[in-house]
């Protein structure tokens, strides 16, 4: 078989390799250890206070202990879907109504604890997807692509719906890290914030992406070409992004810093959105895929992937990437590399521990751990 010589592609590949090599001369190597491998896609992980990690994948929920030993917590039955709670202490089991089309409503929902014990159960509802907080609060979301003006969210208490809120054109919803707010994005109305009982407490128009801190009640939102920070329901700062298309946004647990990532640029701000520093990829073949921020003046970590270009077979187009750790001034201190057997736009995703001294990294079908100096 003869292969066509493509000088443009060869230059791009060599440029990416040289960029990786030049960074290696500056930053110290970071040991990145694979601790879990799945044969199917990983949907969500949850870091637990004891150092273990809850993992929800297509085939079930597993618990990876601090020593790296995995055990099964739950496996879905036929027609069931599992949801992992924030914090990993609970999971939900959903059975959808038979014969329904896409976005099928619920036939039953069960909330179970970390050992799989049943806590409560519902019968039929109109919800099609769910979010579970770290303390076990449950919100169901009713989605109908044919009638998006009728989309709604439902707040549950021990199996009973205690509040309903219409959210026309609902796109997504999740709890903040503390579990005290439920944040729902409407394509028409922006971001709406509810307490755990379902009372709306504030809203912010024109929101595309958001992230929340844990301790300070800080929410960062991206929309209308700008970044805003919200505290107590009021805009506490805003900055124009000058056309940067933001892929990821992260808030430090203490609300002291906010980071955003575009395809080739990361920008870091303080809690009032004063610019602290920025960094760019060294090559157009490298793209940021995630960013996370520790409290105080701790690390900023980011993931990136290498792209060999559209002329490459899709299964091998993104063969590898890195995680990088920066100090409070934006100096690159540590880097670790990894290869991918499969890839998606979130690969790799970096989550810094609450201690700020370690991180969990996920790819499409693997989990890695690293300890920072």
**Residue 367 is encoded by which pair of tokens?**
């989990």
H or E element at residue 189: none
Q: How far apart are alpha carbons 133 and 85 in whole angstroms?
A: 6
pLDDT of the chain, 373 residues: tens digit per residue:
433 434 444 444 444 444 454 454 478 999 999 999 999 999 999 999 889 999 999 899 999 999 999 999 999 999 899 999 999 999 999 999 986 666 789 999 999 998 899 999 999 999 999 999 999 999 999 998 889 999 999 999 999 999 999 999 999 999 999 999 999 999 999 999 999 999 999 999 999 999 999 877 899 999 988 999 999 999 999 999 999 999 999 999 999 999 999 999 999 999 999 999 999 999 999 999 999 999 999 999 999 999 999 989 988 999 999 999 999 999 999 999 999 989 999 999 999 999 999 999 999 999 999 999 8
**How many angstroms separate the first and last alpha carbons of the chain?**
49
Q: How far apart are alpha carbons 326 and 316 in whole angstroms?
A: 29
Q: How far apart are alpha carbons 349 and 323 in whole angstroms?
A: 9
Cβ contact 84:132 at 8 Å: yes
Measured CA to CA in angstroms, residue 177 lies from 62, 116, 217, 265 at distances of 21, 23, 9, 26
Of 277, 233, 235, 243, the C-alpha closest to 257 is 277
pTM of the entire predicted model = 0.90
Measured CA to CA in angstroms, residue 83 lies from 46, 211, 264, 275, 313 at distances of 11, 20, 33, 37, 33
């Amino acid at each position: 078989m003869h292969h066509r010589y493509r000088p443009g592609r060869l230059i791009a590949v060599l440029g990416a390799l040289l960029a990786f090599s030049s960074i290696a001369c500056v930053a110290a190597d970071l040991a990145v250890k694979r601790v879990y491998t799945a044969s199917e896609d990983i949907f969500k992980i949850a870091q637990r206070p004891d150092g273990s990690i809850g993992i929800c994948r297509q085939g079930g929920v597993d618990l990876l202990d601090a020593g790296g030993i995995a055990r099964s917590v739950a496996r879905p039955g036929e027609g069931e879907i599992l949801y992992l709670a924030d914090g990993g202490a609970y999971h939900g089991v959903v059975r959808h109504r038979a014969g329904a089309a896409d976005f099928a409503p619920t036939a039953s929902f069960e909330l179970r604890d970390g050992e799989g014990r049943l806590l409560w159960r519902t019968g039929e509802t109109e919800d099609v997807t769910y979010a579970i907080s770290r303390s076990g609060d449950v919100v169901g979301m009713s989605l109908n692509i044919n009638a998006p003006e009728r989309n709604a969210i439902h707040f549950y208490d021990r199996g009973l719906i205690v509040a309903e809120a219409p959210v026309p054109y609902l796109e997504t919803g999740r709890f903040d890290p503390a579990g005290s707010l439920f944040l729902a994005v409407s394509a028409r109305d922006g971001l709406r914030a509810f307490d755990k009982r379902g009372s709306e407490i504030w809203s912010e128009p024109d929101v595309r992406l958001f992230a929340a801190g844990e301790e300070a009640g800080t929410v960062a939102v991206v929309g209308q070409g700008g970044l805003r920070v919200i505290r107590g329901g009021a805009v506490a700062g805003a900055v124009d992004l000058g056309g940067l298309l933001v892929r990821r946004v992260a808030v430090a647990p203490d609300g002291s810093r906010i980071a955003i990532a575009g395809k080739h640029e990361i920008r870091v701000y303080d809690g009032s959105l004063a610019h602290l520093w920025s960094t760019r990829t060294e090559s157009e073949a490298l793209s940021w895929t995630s960013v996370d921020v520790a409290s105080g003046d701790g690390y900023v970590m980011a993931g990136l992937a290498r792209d060999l270009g559209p002329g490459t077979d899709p299964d091998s187009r993104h063969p590898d990437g890195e995680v990088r750790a920066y100090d409070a001034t934006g100096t690159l201190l540590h880097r670790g590399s990894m290869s991918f057997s499969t890839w998606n736009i979130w690969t790799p995703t970096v989550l810094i521990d609450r201690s700020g001294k370690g991180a969990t990294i996920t790819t499409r079908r693997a989990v890695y751990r690293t300890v920072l100096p």
